Structures are given as structure tokens and as C-alpha cells.
Structure 1
């Protein structure tokens, strides 16, 4: 039997990249690939995703190298393809109907992602979750949260996404969009957000918003720079960069504490591109959390970096594993279910 048999296909879709991987029952990535998220209309974006899926299956030896997607998935129908498919997508989404409308993928509005993927994979279960949920579930399963029962996972990147696992189960919500921490309002007089509201966490803590705020204050205002450059300057002691990171950290901390006192949890894991800034982000976040978390049941609230590079992929695959009967997952670690 192929080493890749008995795996679930995880798919992670964001505004910057699309990734796919075959993941074993113990959360190990067997083979993976990624592409930049293309621009274009709905079908052009999906065609790129379909090609990526086919390539991952081919790389795993589930179809002849270079074969068409249809050929790769036909191999799956012969019993050597993925057992299920879990998809994590930027939101918002309609989980019940399998529709996605990612803010940062203009071509997809009420796009029937689950049905389109199901057309590719044939007669295997397919499920969908918000990318932040998948990040949290991945870290809970095999990452920084594997020794706790509940956690809040946050992705700080071009936006701010989040997911919550409570007593081993992802908190999904009525529509599948629970834990949109990036759109918790922390400043009633704040800047307009892409969601239509004002003063959201994302307007202060996302990478592009921090860069824009720093430029308005005179930091490298004529240069083409990104959050990585901003964090490097902050680490070197640049006062504007440090002040902007402190603003972002305060907003994140406010969202974290609001979530913690609502859900009653004490473990927070932060990942994403901006989190790679390290102490430049985590030191002020921890300082603000300590200042804001005054109720006794959140007094021990901890914030730590993510441990996984592919938490979203692993969490998406976990959603797929949780669709399968216990006999298929008897040796799987953890106890979450979707």
C-alpha cells in the first residue's frame, strides 16, 4: 500500500496563498504544495486551486506525474486517494451551504467552494471551516495547544483571524463564522475597517494597517516597505515603529481579553506573518494583557507563539478526519471533533 494511503486532504485558502497537503491521522503532513492566490474571476481562481490539488496528489504518487486533475482524482475513486477533504478558507462563509465570500479574494462572492471541490474529489466527505478556526485547531492538535483543553488561536497577517477550541471542540457558531476577533471593535472613534465598521482590532494590528499608520507618522514614508521591515526597525529601536507595534498590541490585547472573559479560557496562541516579529509584538501584547485582564478567572491568561508553520493546513485536515467514523481514526491523537 502507498505511504500516502489513509490520508486526508487539507486545503488552506487565503488572500496571499493557497496551500494543500495530505495529512496523516496523527497530524503529520505527508506531502504539501502551495501557490500564490491568483487574481481573476471565480473560475480562474478555482482553476488554480484545482491544479494545485492535482499536483499534490501527483506528488504523493496517487496519479502519474503531470496527469490532469481528473486523472488524479480518478485514482482516489480507486481507493488510494484521500479519505476526506477539509477546507479552511478566509471568510466570511456560509458553512451550511458551503459558500465562501473572502474579503481578500474579490472573485469569490457566495462561491460554492464545497460543491466545486466535491466535483473534483468524488465520493468522499468534504467539509469547510474558517481559516482562523483551522489555525486554532491545528495548534490544538499538534502544536502549542496540544496539552490544554481550550485555547484561542489568532493569525496576525494581512488581516487578523481567529478561532477558538473549547473542551477539545472548535467553536463554530451558527453560520460558521465564530471568533472573528479581527472585527471586535476596540475604538469607537477609530478608523474605518474593510468590514464596514470602525475601530476594529484589524485596523490597528494587521500588517498593512500598521505600515500605513507608521508612514503617516513619517516612517519611511516614500519607500515600498512591509510589516517585516517595520518589525526589523522596531527591533532596532525606531521610535515610530515601536509606537505602532504598541498600538497594535494594545488592540490585540483588548480583543484577547474580551474573548477570554466571554469564553472563559486562559491559553492564547498567536501566529501569522506579523507574529514573526517575535518580542517586538509579544512583549507589548503580554504587557497589555496583564494590564487589562483583571478578573480573577483570566488572571493567568497566557500568550505564546504558534509552533507550527502549517497550522491552518493541519487544522483543515483535522476537520476532514473528524468526518470519518472512529475506525478510520483510532490512532489519531487528541479528541476534538467538528
Structure 2
């Protein structure tokens, strides 16, 4: 799952990316019921009310010790959990890896997501943070380009 200005999900089936009928499989953030259009803005507005050392640390602030923004963090985690649950209830993954800008926050975001996910799923999948962080989309694009180039060059031989 990529969490940035949009929410997107990539599925690996047997180690191969599943792209769907039109290549748009995983664009779950487009569905309005998850509130993804509003969630990043609400979180950003709450972050502005945190003390300056936390706000300027270069990472998403953790709710520990913060008072006012805690509800915004919980709503953000609930929004993520709703998207994860929709996919989990459909395909029953063993692991959900969360990447994108949210990974700068560190593991604190996983506990509230797990709590909300437990309310929505029969058996919630394991969660982990991607080590690629913000670079996940760029890395994926380079890998796709590399695979297409190799296919083009070597499938002709």
C-alpha cells in the first residue's frame, strides 16, 4: 500500500504484480467512502498545532505526548485501515507493506491501524513499513522500465 497524497494498493500474486483488466488495479484511494481525499489535509492541519520541535523534525509527528491532534491521527489511521480492510477482505493477503511518506513517521502509525483493522477484518494481515519510503513509486517505475527493456531486447533474439 502506498500512502502519500493518494492511497494506492499493489497486489503481488505468485510474485507477479496483478494489474487487472485496464492496469488500474489497486486505485482504491479513488473510492470516496474511505475519505482519502480529506485525510491527508486533516492530518496536515493537525500537525500545524504541534510544538515546533516536533513539527520541524522532518517526519510525521507521533501522537505520543500531543493532545489536540490525536483525533486527527486516529482518523488518519482509520482511513488507512478501511482501505486495507477492503483489500484484505477481498484477497486475504498474508502481509500488507505500507510505503510512501507515512513511513517517515516510523512504527507508531502501525498500532492504531492494527486496532482499526481488527474491528474490520476477521483475521487481519500482518503489517510492516516499507524500507523504500518515498522512493517506492520511483523504484517501481525503474523496475518496470528495466523489465520492458529486457523483454524488448531479449525476446527478439
TM-score bracket, normalised by the shorter chain, equals 0.7 to 0.9
Q: CA deviation at 1:161?
A: 2.8
1:301 aligns with 2:125: yes
Considering only CA atoms, is the larger Rg found in Structure 1 or Structure 2?
A: 1
- Let me know the Cα RMSD of the aligned residues: 3.2
Q: Could you list the runs of 5+ residues in structure 2 that have no partner in the other structure? A: none
Q: Alignment length, in residue pairs?
A: 151
Q: CA deviation at 1:229?
A: 7.2
CA contact (8 A) 1:228 1:277 kept: no
Q: C-alpha offsets along residues 190-249 of structure 1, whole Å, 9 cap, x if unaligned?
A: xxxxxxxxx533422x2x33123x38xxx629x9x97967943623x1122222111111
Say which structure is richer in helix.
Answer: 2
User: What stretches of structure 1 move > 4 A for 4+ residues in a row?
Assistant: 225-230
Q: C-alpha offsets along residues 147-177 of structure 1, whole Å, 9 cap, x if unaligned?
A: xxxxxxx222233233222222212123322
Pair 271,255 (structure 1): closer, same or farther in 2 beyond 3 Å: same
2:87 to 259, 263, 270: 259
The equivalent of 1:234 in structure 2 is: 63
Q: CA deviation at 1:308?
A: 2.0
1:288 aligns with 2:135: no
Say which structure is richer in strand.
Answer: 1
Secondary structure, aligned partner of 1:201: coil
The equivalent of 2:27 in structure 1 is: 180
Q: Could you list the runs of 5+ residues in structure 1 that have no partner in the other structure? A: 1-153, 187-198, 329-338
Q: C-alpha offsets along residues 248-271 of structure 1, whole Å, 9 cap, x if unaligned?
A: 111111110111111232211111
1:200 aligns with 2:35: yes
Q: C-alpha offsets along residues 31-67 of structure 1, whole Å, 9 cap, x if unaligned?
A: xxxxxxxxxxxxxxxxxxxxxxxxxxxxxxxxxxxxx
Taking structure 2 as the reference length, the TM-score comes to: 0.76
The equivalent of 2:136 in structure 1 is: 311
The equivalent of 1:210 in structure 2 is: 43
CA contact (8 A) 1:253 1:286 kept: yes
Secondary structure, aligned partner of 1:254: helix
Alpha-carbon separation, structure 2, partners of 1:261 and 1:305:
20
Alignment of structure 1 residues 314-329 onto 2, 5 Å: 314-323=139-148, 324-325=150-151
